[in-house]
Structure 1
Amino acid sequence: MKGLSPRQSTFGWLLCHRKLPTDDIMRKKGISLASKCIMCGFHSETLPHLFLNCSVSRIIWENFLSCFGLIWKDQSSIAELISWWKRKRRILSVKDPWAAGLIIVTDTIWKERNHRWHGGKSRDASLLFKKILRTLKESNLDLKGVIRSTADLLCCRKLGLHAAPGDPPSILEVIWCKPPLAWSKIKIDGSSMENPGRAGGGVVIRDSNGKVIFSFKNFLGISMNYYAEFMSFLHGIRHAMGQRITNLWIETDSVAVVTAVQGKSLPWFALQKWLSLQHYLNSISWKITHCFREANPIADYLAKSAAKTGLSGTMKDFPTHIIEEIRWDSFSKPRFRL
Structure 2
Amino acid sequence: MTPYFSQKISDYYFDNKWHLTSSFMQSFPRISLDIISTPIPGLADDRSWIRSGFGNITAASAFAHIRPQFPKVDWGSWIWAPFIPARRSLFVWRTIVGKLPTFDMNRLIGIQGPNRCPLCSAAEETMDHVLLNCPFSASIWADVFRWFLIDQPLPLDVGSMIRFSIHQKNSKQVGNLWKAGVVSLLWSLWSHRNNVIHKNFAPSRHLILKQVRVFLCEAANNFVLGTMANSVSDLLILNNISIAGQPRKPFSYIYVAWHLPPPSWIKVNTDGSVREGRIHAGGVFRNAFNDVLGCYHFSGGQGVAFEAELFAIIIAIESVHRAKWERVWFESDSSFVVQLLQSLSETIGGFFGFSS
Q: TM (normalized to structure 2)?
A: 0.46
CA radius of gyration, larger in:
2
Higher relative contact order at CA 8 Å, sep ≥6: structure 1 or structure 2?
Answer: 1
